[in-house]
Structure 1
Amino acid sequence: MEPDGGDSYTEFLVEAVRAVPPRYVQQRLAPKAELLREVNSHSTMLVVAPWISTIARDLLRRHQIAYLDLTGNVDIRVSHPAIIIHTDGAEKDRRPAVRGTSQTTLAGAKAGRLVRLLADVEPPHRASDLHQASALSLPYVSRLLGTLEDQLLIRRSGRTITAVDWPQLLRARSQVTKLLGNDSYLGFLAPNGLPSVLNRMPQAPARYVDGLSVTGSFAAQRFVHVAVGGQLMLYVAPWLDPVDVADELGLLPVTEGADVLLLKEPDEFVRQGSEVVDGVQYVAPSQAALDCLAGPGRMPAEGEALLDFMEAHPQQWRVSWNAPGAPYPQH
């Protein structure tokens, strides 16, 4: 563009791609954009893709690369003439997976196990360590680690994982999960208030104490206080019948206005690293953060506050493979 015949103009070098992994931005696009600025100050690189992740968008802005995706995520900034266009689109890639592709994603219970391990246990890690501790197949672990490396969520030296960006890893996992999915929970009312439910839990038979885990807001509020109250969410282990649990805790079934949610436990690993306090089992901070980030209403804000606490106090929740009493198998 060249208004009024002057020299104030810009041109875009368009890079149209199907996907924008953060490692591709770092290793391929950033050097190309830097070189383009050196040889032609009137040129701006513009990346166009069906969808661009939050991490990739942050990297593109950091390297002064314009972007546009088909969901409405746009950031175009030009100095001469002065142009700023910024809009937010989808935070999740809503395209169906391409049939026949082999990329392993962060969705599903198996990925949840690996995410928890990478967050909770300090590096260094090897794929074989993660395979043994998670009981996942070694080929699956290797494929998912490749995906995480592309997303710059882990860094490796040879075959050893030397660093994990665990806050971004937990955020990325939460974007592909939904805490309250269809048929994943039942709602109840506590007629005597939520404190009465927490008081009754230690008095229940041992199988209830072991099989019920507090998550969500009440688990986060052990460490941070964004707001008081909220729904009491309990994971229910497979060996417990939610109806029996409700009877044991004095809960009434309701179709709306529930203040207690009994959640079907998606995988036994959600109990990994849990802590019993005054006879009540609470999920580990990393699981509570994941569930809050993937929850409704104000829960994502509670999840972010919990992440801040976890970053400031890693000694209160992170462990090493060989730490005495570590919640994961030692190596």
Structure 2
Amino acid sequence: MEAPLIREAQLLDQGIQALSDLLGPEWQVARRPNKSSVFDAALEVRAEGDSTYTQLLVEATQAVPPRFVMERLVPKVQLLREVNHYTNLLVIAPWISSQARDLLQQNGIAYLDLTGNVGIRVSRPAIIIHTVGAEKAPRSAPREISRTTLAGVKAGRLVRVLADVPPPHRATDLHRVSALSLPYVSRLLEILEDQLLIRRKGRVVTDVDWPQLLRARAQETSLLGHGAYRGFLAPNGVPAVLQQIPQLPTKSIGATGEGLSVTGSYAAQRFVQVAVGGQLVLYVGSWLNIDDVADELGLLPVNEGADVLLLNEPDSFVRRRSEFVDGVQYVAPSQAALDCLAGPGRMPAEGEALLSFMEAHPQEWRASAKFPGPVQYGGLPRVQD
């Protein structure tokens, strides 16, 4: 069921009450006549018994995408400072993403959301408030905030293409290569543009902030939440498992060896070395049985202390642009970075290290500037909307 929108008056009341509660009884937060049609409310904030006060002009909004911050709020606050240097802008919303909060902070705009994310810094009188609330949009958030997200199989495909292939991109190209419906591709591109993860000129994607795009995707998903997985112990150690994979019969890993693909720590360690070892994470093709693969590899099922994880691959796209090394298939760096960032334990740190390598050496992993045809991404089944 869709969450009902919070009416503007209710949003203002709840936000002002939250600010008053944060400041405590020794401070006064009073609404003043709003002489401007540009802002939703004017607040006067002062300490009890102090003649010094600050004025906060309030922008109450249902959603605060980064593009809204840069194109709507920043020009407002710049104009506001030209008129009165000591008047501040406060944004109140049901929820504000971490990326939007960073942009607000960089531009000196105060913010408060109803989940507890607050960032207010005023010089006269001295007020500094910084609290952290929800990092993900709560289910109670209005539909406009989470109508289309970077979670799910479909988004994963589009993120990989946008990261792997340098722009320019047209929606029709992305639709053709990803085997996603054109309406879905168009909707997600709109969301990514609002988040400043892509930039477009007309209908053409001209720039992709692929490191932030991969991070944003990882925040919306979980490596171990993709599908069924099992933990195992390798009696002879993980290196022995890697040596054994190329020797498996074709019925265990497929005629071309694509049935097993390494991701996570061991995929990242091909390029960066944050720590030695770690869990071996293997995607298992959808046509294979995890227990049968474990038997072939001589793995022992365990509930704790697993050094090998076998995961049902959520989509064949995780194997796109993979590479075989010594007979073992490794996912592409973009997929490895995604899985590490969305993984448990030390894996997010390995994902960040891999991203740094990828930024420094794009020629090592990105496709050519020419948009690839479907053959290069394999024969993909269509994903239903």
- TM-score range relative to shorter protein: over 0.9
Give the letter aligned to residue 322 of structure 1: K
Residue 231, structure 1, aligned to residue 273, structure 2: no
Give the letter aligned to residue 282 of structure 1: Y
TM-score normalized by the length of structure 2: 0.81
Match of residue 260 from structure 1: 308
Residue 34, structure 1, aligned to residue 82, structure 2: no
1:81 CA drift (Å): 2.2
Match of residue 40 from structure 2: none
Equivalent pairs counted in the alignment come to 329
Distance in 2, matches of 1:3 and 1:112, equals 50
1:71 CA drift (Å): 2.2
Match of residue 212 from structure 2: 168
TM-score normalized by the length of structure 1: 0.93
Match of residue 322 from structure 2: 274
- Which structure 1 residue ranges, 5 or more long, are not aligned? none
Secondary structure of 2:224's partner?
coil
Secondary structure of 2:261's partner?
strand
Give the letter aligned to residue 291 of structure 1: D
Contact 1:219 1:283 in 2 (8 A): yes
Say which of 286, 290, 296 aligns to 2:338: 290
Contact 1:123 1:320 in 2 (8 A): no
Give the letter aligned to residue 305 of structure 1: A
- % of aligned pairs identical? 72
Distance in 1, matches of 2:72 and 2:260, equals 48
Cα displacement string for residues 214-262 of structure 1 (whole angstroms, at most 9, x for unaligned residues):
0111111111111112111000011111111001111011122111110
Distance in 2, matches of 1:11 and 1:248, equals 70
Contact 2:228 2:312 in 1 (8 A): yes
Distance in 2, matches of 1:57 and 1:230, equals 34
Change (3 A) 1:166 1:183: closer
Match of residue 193 from structure 1: 237
Contact 2:200 2:207 in 1 (8 A): yes
1:82 CA drift (Å): 2.4
Secondary structure of 1:10's partner?
strand
Distance in 2, matches of 1:4 and 1:180, equals 52
Say which of 105, 121, 125 aligns to 1:77: 121
Contact 1:9 1:42 in 2 (8 A): no
Match of residue 305 from structure 1: 353
1:323 CA drift (Å): 7.6
- Correspondence 1:75-224 to 2 at 5 A: 75-96=119-140, 103-181=147-225, 184-206=228-250, 208=253, 209-224=257-272
Match of residue 57 from structure 2: 13
1:155 CA drift (Å): 0.4
Contact 1:103 1:147 in 2 (8 A): no
- Tell which structure's C-alpha radius of gyration is larger: 2
Secondary structure of 1:180's partner?
helix
1:152 CA drift (Å): 0.7
1:321 CA drift (Å): 5.4
- Which structure 2 residue ranges, 5 or more long, are not aligned? 1-44, 379-385
1:102 CA drift (Å): 8.9
Contact 2:80 2:87 in 1 (8 A): yes
Match of residue 294 from structure 2: 246
Change (3 A) 1:139 1:102: farther
Distance in 2, matches of 1:100 and 1:12, equals 26
